Chain A
Amino acid sequence: MQNKVLIANRGEIALRIIRACKELGIATVAVYSKADKDSLHVKFADEAICIGNSRSNDSYLNMNRVISAALSTGCNAIHPGYGFLSENERFVSIVEKCGLKFVGPTSEVIAKLGNKAAARAIAKLARLPIVEGSDGVVDSLEEGLAISNKIGYPIMIKASNGGGGKGITIVYSETEFRKTFGKTMMEAKAAFGDSRVYIEKYIENPKHIEVQILGDNFGNVVQLGERDCSMQRNNQKVIEESPCVSLNPLVRRSMGFAAVRLAKAVKYTNAGTVEFIVDKDGKFYFIEMNTRIQVEHPVTEAVTGIDLVKEQLNIAFGSELSMRQYGIKTNGHSIECRINAEDIQNNFRPSPGTIKNLVFPGGNGIRIDSHIYSGYEVPPFYDSMLAKLIVHAPTRKEAIRKMRMALEQFIVDGIITNVDFLYVIMHNPEFVKGNYNTSFIKKVLEEQNNG
């Protein structure tokens, strides 16, 4: 039977999935919004179906249209990519009920891990270290105050259904807590349609490190090492690398084991990422599990030599994992830069427009995942990522040099990008030393503004 996959996404990840499908001999169906009719994923899929207007709500987020497109083209699976409907439990349960395979974990697992308070409880049972905080949802101000006073300030109030760095309030004192608690609940209700919040100790300037997981339908789970995603601006990742330079090998080992324990505890299938934060003493804590392929997956692919999207598809179509933990070796160092259409001078404002000329770098150890081309018009409706530039070299030092060279040759004419900003960071002595945490970019920008 010919497998046929609908790709419920756009941009570089849609293209990435189409390429993996083609290599595996799987037929592909792209869906697109009116704004994306000239996008590469539309051109390169075997079939393409327009599913609505430019706004995401009318197209990529419209469950019924995505599912009808899959059914009417005779697909037997849907790959959600990242973002959009990828972690939407309801969408996944409808896909399952329609008899389609979902390239990702089951709706049941997504439901368990998607709710942060519930995920914490599971992690606790699986003996993962978690940041001190409330056991589940906090309903009242009094309850919240009691918990916060016990664990000590600063603390965070987090929306139970939040994500992407939104719905978090940091509180430094009791008086401030009284003022902000109700407001945070209201904001959570407005942003996520759910006012439930929970409380956690706030760890200042941590490193953000995540472990890549693969699980199959036969109970096998492997971990593919970590990614350091501490280079963030407003909780949006900018640069990712693997392995993490500052991680002690013992901590790395126990983090890997912890991630596998969690995945096994929920009978996790397909690709997923267990996110941890690491404090300045090297202690790590579980924060959440992402139940999808991630933007930064290529750095793991580079150091392990494993094609994660192909593995995702094989797992979804019922194959057993082709590797075991002992067979997974990491090799060299990989760094990814996210090239975005944004104006650094104007507070990182998105800068859509038409690309007049385009030159990509190339050569040994350089990979570019991108959907842009000369003449392509970057639509204003979606996220501003244009390309992922990934380098792979034997050592971190060589990888940084390769990245500098590649950024020098990454030329986009017609729209404003963050290439120069990334180039500057690649020369920052602290970054080169590997001495950075999640507040790094903020500090760099402040210094820049002060002269």
Chain B
Amino acid sequence: MDNFFDVRKSKLDVFNNNIRKKVVVQTKINISEGLFTKCESCNELIFHEDLLANLNVCPHCNYYFRLSARRRIQSVVDKGVLTEMFLNVNTTNPLNFPGYLDKISQYQESSQERDAFVCGKASIKGIDVAIGALDSNFMMGSMGSAVGEKVTKLIEFATLEKLPLVIFSASGGARMQEGIFSLMQMAKTSAALKYHSNAKLLYISVLTNPTTGGVAASFASLGDINIAETKSLIGFAGPRVIKQTINQELPAGFQTAEFQLEKGFVDLIVERHKMRDTIGKLLKLHKKEV
């Protein structure tokens, strides 16, 4: 059926190439950077504005891109307004780790944040909360002294003001460049949370992709309610390390949010788009009548 079209076309090609000597010059178009994002999962091109509007979730395959701490908080609080606090806590280099502060300033440049934790006071569905979020775009959301100090200060602020506390975690764990000082933050944040808990206040911990290491082993898993975001990786050591250490095949879906829900490590799994409603509902249910 198609044959007569092909015959015709090849004849015309012969004519154009040999007799007419038609030369097609390819023009190159420059597209401004950042107009499109390619989905890491389904490879579809996504218009960047669409991705932002959809909370960094691929509109085609529902793949979850990372969400910065600031946008994460804006996506759940009323009118996106956060009164940011503890801006004077700065990272130092206690171990004189080579190149550490240069690396920090690079991340400060690229993320426009001072460190990997953004926090302050806001309201969700009309209820005042102390809220904070780790930024996985800043050194993988790792916890050094500055991050630990800000987390602790936020918890203490919540205790003092009798506010419920919401923290979004996204972290590779303790920051190795600060060694033992980083590990100390695990104990410090946990202790602060105990005071918060003694004051009979609510702490909702949201574990997002990925929540691992020292963060998972301290304040991230100490919530009165531990929520996991859909498709998050949650664990202590990564699956590759565990596999090499124990020399065994790991079970299917190991360390996924769904796996952790089944094992009782998290209490519920919530989609990114439903996060605000869910947290709002939980806050309302646990609100103390004054």
B285 CB–A CB distance under 8 Å: no
Given A1-B27, A97-B35, A99-B31, do A43 and B45 touch, yes or no (CB 8 Å)? no
How would residues 42 to 53 of chain B score, 1 for a CB under 8 Å from any chain A CB and 0 otherwise?
001111000000
Partner of B24, one of A27, A67, A71, A375: A27
Cross-chain contact B5 with A74 (CB below 8 angstroms): no
Instruction: For the complex, give the distance between the alpha carbons of A67 and B5 in Å.
Output: 27
How far is B46's CA from A3's CA once the two chains are assembled, in angstroms?
A: 27
Neighbouring A residues of B29 by C-beta, 8 Å: 71, 74-76, 98-100
A68 is an interface residue with CB less than 8 A from chain B: yes
Is there a chain B Cβ closer than 8 Å to A94's Cβ?
yes
Please tell me if the beta carbons of A375 and B45 are within 8 angstroms of each other in the complex.
no
Q: Which residue of A lies closest to B32 (CB)?
A: A97
Q: Would you call B35 and A98 a contact (CB within 8 A)?
A: yes
Q: Does A63 contact B (CB under 8 A)?
A: yes
Contact at B27–A76, with CB atoms within 8 Å?
yes
| Contact indicator B2/A38 (Cβ below 8 Å) | yes
Q: Across the A-B interface, how many residue pairs have beta carbons closer than 8 Å? A: 45
Q: Is B286 an interface residue (CB 8 A)?
A: no
As a 0/1 sequence over residues 83 to 115 of chain A, the CB contacts with chain B under 8 angstroms (1 = contact) are 000000000001001111000000000000000
Bin the interface of chain A by size.
20 to 34
A1 to B25, CA, bound (A): 7
- Given A2-B27, A375-B1, A68 contacting B45 (CB threshold 8 A): yes
**How distant is B50 from chain A, measured CB to nearest CB, in Å?**
9
Please give, as numbers and ranges, the residues of chain B lying within 8 Å of A100 by CB-CB distance. Answer: 29
Alpha-carbon gap, A4 to B1, bound state (A): 29
B21 at the interface (CB under 8 A from A): no
Shortest CB distance A14–B (Å): 16
A64 at the interface (CB under 8 A from B): yes
Whether the pair A43, B27 counts as a contact (CB closer than 8 A) is no
Q: Determine which of B5, B25, B26, B47 lies in contact with A94 in the assembled complex, contact meaning CB atoms within 8 Å.
A: B47
Q: Which residues of A contact B28 (CB under 8 A)?
A: 74
> Taking CB as reference atom, which chain B residue is nearest A25?
B22
Interface residues of B in 34-90 (CB under 8 A from A): 35-36, 44-47
As a 0/1 sequence over residues 246 to 260 of chain B, the CB contacts with chain A under 8 angstroms (1 = contact) are 000000000000000
Is the CB of B30 closer than 8 A to any CB of chain A? yes
* A residues in contact with B1, CB < 8 Å: 38, 375
**Residues on the A chain within 8 Å of B36, using CB:** 64
B1 and chain A: residue at smallest CB distance: A375
In the complex, chain A residues 5-19 whose Cβ is within 8 Å of any chain B Cβ? none
With known contacts A4-B27, A99-B31, A64–B2 Cβ distance under 8 A? no
A63 to B46, CA, bound (A): 10
- Tally of contact residues, B, Cβ under 8 A: 19
* A38-B1, A98-B35, A99-B32 known; A64 vs B44 contact (CB < 8 Å): yes
Q: Give B198 Cβ to nearest chain A Cβ, in Å.
A: 51
Query: How many Å lie between the Cα of A64 and that of B49 in the bound state?
Result: 13
Known: A1-B25, A27-B24, A43-B5. A64 touches B31 (CB 8 A): no
Q: Which of chain B's residues 1-36 have a Cβ closer than 8 Å to chain A?
A: 1-2, 5, 9, 24-32, 35-36
Beta-carbon contact of A74 and B26 below 8 Å: yes
A403 to chain B, nearest CB (A): 31
User: Complex: how many Å from CA A2 to CA B2?
Assistant: 30
List B contacts of A1 (CB < 8 A).
25, 27
Question: Which residues does chain A contribute within 8 Å of B35, judged by CB atoms?
Answer: 94, 97-98
Contact of A64 among B27, B30, B32, B45 (CB under 8 A): B45
Q: How far is the CA of A43 from the CA of B26 in the complex (A)?
A: 21
Residue in chain A with minimal CB distance to B23 = A2
Q: How far is the CB of A240 from chain B (nearest CB, A)?
A: 32
Question: Which residues of chain B have C-beta atoms less than 8 A from A75's C-beta?
Answer: 29
Q: In the complex, what residues of A have CB within 8 A of residue B24's CB?
A: 2, 27, 46
Known contacts A2-B24, A43-B5, A375-B1; decide if A71 and B31 are in contact (CB<8 Å): yes
Q: A219 to B31, alpha carbons, bound, how many Å? A: 28
Question: What B residues does A74 contact at CB under 8 A?
Answer: 26-29
Contacts of A99 in B (CB 8 A): 29-32
- Residues A98-155 near B (CB distance < 8 A): 98-100
B46–A64 contact, CB under 8 A?
yes
Question: CB-CB contacts of A205-249 with B at 8 A, as 1s and 0s?
Answer: 000000000000000000000000000000000000000000000
- B31→A63 contact, CB < 8 A: no
**Smallest distance from the beta carbon of A243 to chain B beta carbons, Å?**
40
Measured between C-beta atoms, what is the minimum distance from B73 to chain A in Å? 28
Contacts of B46 in A (CB 8 A): 64
Contacting residues, chain A, for B2 (C-beta < 8 A) = 38
* Complex contacts, A38 vs chain B, CB 8 Å: 1-2
Name the residue on A nearest B26 (C-beta).
A74
Cα distance A97–B35 in the bound complex, in angstroms: 8
Instruction: List B residues at the A interface (Cβ < 8 Å).
Output: 1-2, 5, 9, 24-32, 35-36, 44-47
- Please give 5 more A-B residue pairs, beta carbons under 8 A apart, in addition to A74-B27, A99-B32: A43-B5, A46-B24, A98-B31, A100-B29, A375-B1
Q: List 26 contacting pairs A-B, 8 Å CB cutoff, sorted by A.
A: A1-B27, A2-B24, A2-B26, A2-B27, A3-B27, A38-B1, A43-B9, A46-B24, A63-B47, A64-B36, A64-B44, A67-B45, A68-B45, A71-B29, A74-B26, A74-B29, A75-B29, A76-B27, A76-B29, A94-B35, A94-B47, A97-B35, A98-B29, A99-B30, A100-B29, A375-B1
